[in-house]
Structure 1
């Protein structure tokens, strides 16, 4: 009972702030946004500067010639020349009888010598070899000639054994199973080389080489693979001012990652970030479930926030959120230059807010005790295309909110029932002459991000516009709406290189543009469009250190304070990897 007058006083104080403020400000910033911590943007793939793969000769050592075939003998009664009406083929699976008949048709319907008959056999072998089946071949077995029909036996190459050495803690079956995908019968050297290239791109492997040798019988081969494992532990610290000023924009973070925890190619990551008004812990574990790089991932996140921005710090606003995410991701198409992956996530998100240590709803759709609970399924598709000088990455995600497991349901939106789509794309292109080194070439980076929702959304699912990695020149999440679109372009010009530490200094002009709007007839923010231009400077030192400073100039005025560097259009980012 003693708390009631104090609580009433704080409510009155809060109302007086909003009532006395400028009308526009009262509409756009009635309370610090976001009250409930929102998720970070969907993980758009960050394409690295394209790096060429090792030449095939470094991955796959010289291969043996086509295996010797059994001794070819024809009956002693074969005349010097004879007429072949057609050939019959046995043992062929890579090519149909019709395809083999096509390459041997020049040897049918006319008189042949024995040497020409051997040429017909060689034509079949050459077809296999030209198409990468270098351990396959054909021969003419002993037979009785009847009706002008000659039988040609095909021996398609098979792998007798895959020998793997040097993997360290990494299970040899992890490597062996992926090579087996590229060495199915009949053995094709092009498929094998592609499997080796994919392994070379695997972050668990620093280097590898393979040798193909003859097996115990004709048509059998042995693949010997030597692996140099990569360092799998990493510790990373980050400093930036990318958090909302409501909870303190200056963010500190540390992340620990082990990419091969149990030796199965499974990874675990733990991170902690904080600001003056927030603490966040994230944990994720990923386990490979098949040789085609399908993975099952579980992640957990917890955030505790306290509003420290005046004048709202006087009313003791607190918020907390918990996220659970179980995701299955499966590449459908995978090669050294492209990947198409599909995935499904089951998501649970819970949050609660309080005022003066008393549960209280501070965002639309929350229950009377300030709680929101979301159960959702997300179906996503990811596409990556890599070239020698460009990378294109795109991600599409459909989210279906469900009213299950005690999720928030209201008579009117927003609640846990919704349908939303989010699409992201990123394009990176090296500019200038192809003869220049990548670190000496200007780099064009284009980004796009769109969200569309069928109804009003809870704050946890809304689209934030403005600030760090969005429209620079504005405070973080200056606009928070159900729908939104963002486009950004920048060019990174290298102006200085320090080869001794693999360092490069870049000057980066950029332009950002975004628009936000609501669903379900809810009023749109005014203004609803943000635009800015600016200049950044970045120092990149190998894979260890990245430091960047951006200054954005807003082109459309939005009422905001200037208490922090972020609100003045200045952003900084520092990342250091210890290993």
Structure 2
């Protein structure tokens, strides 16, 4: 019989699991905390919502009226009535080309159209400029401006469903579209899009002239969306220790209280020993788009061995409160602010009564948004940036705490920053180019639950899930895509060729002996993969995705004696598949 291990020796082994990226399990998961964070980030996207009607806008300024005759009149200036949004200098600049010369009827209408075009360019999309009958008095032309106000009681709601209460939508519209100022494109788009964002309702709208000249009515129709929706997914995105094949489901309960709120639940199982659950509730609290939410997530695993230290098991639970607010909400540009506070409790332990428990209190503030435009043909840009500050408290046994303080020193306050930038760019016909950059910066050595990971289908598909875990890193994905709109079997098929580049710094501040038993490891290195992907979509029903990635060069984290990666394979390629069914 082998002699029993000392308590300190076991503690060092378990601490190594939680703090070093060189052990097999950590390289793939980082323990319960890291797994929990990964599961939260990779839930399948919900099915696309039914698209509401396009925002109706009045037509652009028409061409100048055709003159009834070629007669002209000398013009000394203009007398403009009804202007509240432009100053005198702006009016003079717009109309000066038509001043001090003889104008025909067509020229006078051209001046009116120039003024109306300026209003439209400034966002006052309902503004109109009229030339009244007999407009000339002593060489001065009169122009009547109607800047486009919403009529009193000009918002009409037509209910074809009651999933979202009418007063919720009415408050949004009335807040952004008052009758006391001219309608502006930014306010108009924001109001309708914030209403459209409410889960449980689809918005259709039409703008039509009011009884008084220069006023309009807005008729909005509310249609029900399904109150319940969801999906079932299966993939091989798990790791070799906690189970490669995973089965999951995500459920959406839309507007359960009629306020445009939403309840989301998700569960994932990878065998009976690895389970993940997530519950989120988000509710609008202001007609200006502010929402408050709360969620809880839990992950647990059980292993036969844990870094060679008896049997292992672990769990992580996170509680989070958060708020979101749309700083900009429009058809082509959006910017959101998000802030959250939370507590993550992690406990990785072995049957030898060794405990690597720790608690992370975290506060995060960030922005995110998107922009689509025709500036470079046609494309969509997405971006996110956040700053997190927190405190790690070691709650395990004394040996584990001593190990951390003598080595990685993750205990105490920390800060990290994260970014994501992506661009989908149409090139020509069915061909597009997609690029994505993600990264993390850290102010000190981090716990495994806060690290940046490389490896797996999303970054470096030629490597196992989470092959490299570092305090700081960058991941670049470039892909050429070809879209086949109507294959013989239906739906749409997208193929892609991609290259992925990752750079990582394992430890912000290395310490003596950080390499453990693998002297080949460097603290900073890069990983590269190339690959091929196929994605078949049947809208609203199925998404099936498969990809294969090949490593370029040697694996910097390969075992020195076997050349194996953390999944126990020395292959230079990995295959990944995922199927999602929506209901």
Same fold (TM over 0.5): yes
CA shift at 1:155, angstroms?
5.8
Against the structure 1 CA distance between its residues 263 and 520, is the aligned structure 2 distance closer, same or farther, given a 3 Å change threshold?
A: same
TM-score w.r.t. the length of structure 2 is 0.74
Residue 69 of structure 2 corresponds to which residue in structure 1?
Answer: none
- Give the superposed CA RMSD: 4.8
User: Secondary structure of 1:249's partner?
Assistant: coil
Residue 453 of structure 2 corresponds to which residue in structure 1?
Answer: 464
**What are the equivalent positions in structure 2 for 1:476-555 lying under 5 Å apart?**
476-494=465-483, 497-498=486-487, 501-504=490-493, 506-517=494-505, 518-522=507-511, 523=514, 526=521, 528-554=525-551, 555=553
Matched pairs, number: 524
Instruction: Please say if residues 177 and 291 of structure 1, whose CA atoms lie closer than 8 Å, have aligned partners that are also in contact.
Output: yes
Q: 22, 28, 31: which is aligned to 1:28?
A: 22
Residue 87 of structure 2 corresponds to which residue in structure 1?
Answer: 96
CA shift at 1:196, angstroms?
4.4
Range with greater deviation from structure 2 (453-462 or 517-526): 517-526
* Aligned equivalents of 2:229, 2:247: Cα separation in 1: 17
Q: 303, 309, 320: which is aligned to 1:307?
A: 303
Against the structure 1 CA distance between its residues 521 and 167, is the aligned structure 2 distance closer, same or farther, given a 3 Å change threshold?
A: farther
* Structure 1 residues 302-348: Cα deviation after superposition (integer angstroms, max 9, x where no partner): 11111246885x82201111111212222222221111222211121
Against the structure 1 CA distance between its residues 46 and 136, is the aligned structure 2 distance closer, same or farther, given a 3 Å change threshold?
A: farther
Residue 127 of structure 1 corresponds to which residue in structure 2?
Answer: 115
Residue 575 of structure 2 corresponds to which residue in structure 1?
Answer: 570
> Are 2:4 and 1:8 equivalent residues in the alignment?
yes
CA shift at 1:43, angstroms?
5.2
CA shift at 1:429, angstroms?
2.3
Residue 236 of structure 2 corresponds to which residue in structure 1?
Answer: 241
Residue 259 of structure 1 corresponds to which residue in structure 2?
Answer: 254
Range with greater deviation from structure 2 (286-295 or 555-564): 555-564
* Greater C-alpha radius of gyration: 1
CA shift at 1:88, angstroms?
7.6
* Aligned equivalents of 2:53, 2:392: Cα separation in 1: 54
**What are the equivalent positions in structure 2 for 1:410-489 lying under 5 Å apart?**
413-433=409-429, 441-489=430-478
* Aligned equivalents of 1:496, 1:393: Cα separation in 2: 24
User: Secondary structure of 1:469's partner?
Assistant: coil
* Aligned equivalents of 1:304, 1:45: Cα separation in 2: 17
Q: Specify every segment of 5 or more residues in structure 2 that has no aligned partner in the other structure, as ranges.
A: 15-19, 62-73, 560-564
Greater relative contact order structure (CA < 8 Å, 6+ sep): 2
> Are 2:312 and 1:317 equivalent residues in the alignment?
yes
Q: Specify every segment of 5 or more residues in structure 1 that has no aligned partner in the other structure, as ranges.
A: 19-25, 66-82, 362-370, 434-440
Q: 339, 348, 355: which is aligned to 1:344?
A: 339
CA shift at 1:356, angstroms?
0.6
CA shift at 1:501, angstroms?
4.1
Range with greater deviation from structure 2 (553-562 or 274-283): 553-562
Instruction: Please say if residues 86 and 109 of structure 1, whose CA atoms lie closer than 8 Å, have aligned partners that are also in contact.
Output: yes
Instruction: Please say if residues 441 and 472 of structure 2, whose CA atoms lie closer than 8 Å, have aligned partners that are also in contact.
Output: yes
Against the structure 1 CA distance between its residues 385 and 45, is the aligned structure 2 distance closer, same or farther, given a 3 Å change threshold?
A: farther
* Structure 1 residues 494-515: Cα deviation after superposition (integer angstroms, max 9, x where no partner): 46834774242x3333222212
* Structure 1 residues 113-157: Cα deviation after superposition (integer angstroms, max 9, x where no partner): xx99xx9999679735762454666899xxxx9x99999986654
CA shift at 1:489, angstroms?
2.1
* Aligned equivalents of 1:304, 1:419: Cα separation in 2: 26
Range with greater deviation from structure 2 (5-14 or 412-421): 5-14
Against the structure 1 CA distance between its residues 84 and 541, is the aligned structure 2 distance closer, same or farther, given a 3 Å change threshold?
A: closer
Against the structure 1 CA distance between its residues 233 and 498, is the aligned structure 2 distance closer, same or farther, given a 3 Å change threshold?
A: farther
Q: 216, 219, 222: which is aligned to 2:217?
A: 222
Instruction: Please say if residues 293 and 331 of structure 1, whose CA atoms lie closer than 8 Å, have aligned partners that are also in contact.
Output: yes
Instruction: Please say if residues 246 and 308 of structure 1, whose CA atoms lie closer than 8 Å, have aligned partners that are also in contact.
Output: no
Instruction: Please say if residues 393 and 411 of structure 2, whose CA atoms lie closer than 8 Å, have aligned partners that are also in contact.
Output: no
* Structure 1 residues 75-132: Cα deviation after superposition (integer angstroms, max 9, x where no partner): xxxxxxxx999888776321123334556669999999xx99xx99996797357624
Residue 327 of structure 2 corresponds to which residue in structure 1?
Answer: 332
Residue 68 of structure 2 corresponds to which residue in structure 1?
Answer: none
CA shift at 1:210, angstroms?
0.9
User: Secondary structure of 2:318's partner?
Assistant: strand
> Are 2:377 and 1:377 equivalent residues in the alignment?
no
> Are 2:157 and 1:164 equivalent residues in the alignment?
yes
User: Secondary structure of 1:8's partner?
Assistant: coil
* Aligned equivalents of 1:264, 1:6: Cα separation in 2: 64
Instruction: Please say if residues 314 and 349 of structure 2, whose CA atoms lie closer than 8 Å, have aligned partners that are also in contact.
Output: yes
CA shift at 1:531, angstroms?
1.9
Instruction: Please say if residues 464 and 479 of structure 1, whose CA atoms lie closer than 8 Å, have aligned partners that are also in contact.
Output: yes
Against the structure 1 CA distance between its residues 248 and 44, is the aligned structure 2 distance closer, same or farther, given a 3 Å change threshold?
A: closer
TM-score w.r.t. the length of structure 1 is 0.75
Instruction: Please say if residues 91 and 153 of structure 1, whose CA atoms lie closer than 8 Å, have aligned partners that are also in contact.
Output: yes
Instruction: Please say if residues 391 and 411 of structure 2, whose CA atoms lie closer than 8 Å, have aligned partners that are also in contact.
Output: no
* Aligned equivalents of 1:449, 1:110: Cα separation in 2: 60
CA shift at 1:563, angstroms?
5.9
CA shift at 1:461, angstroms?
0.6
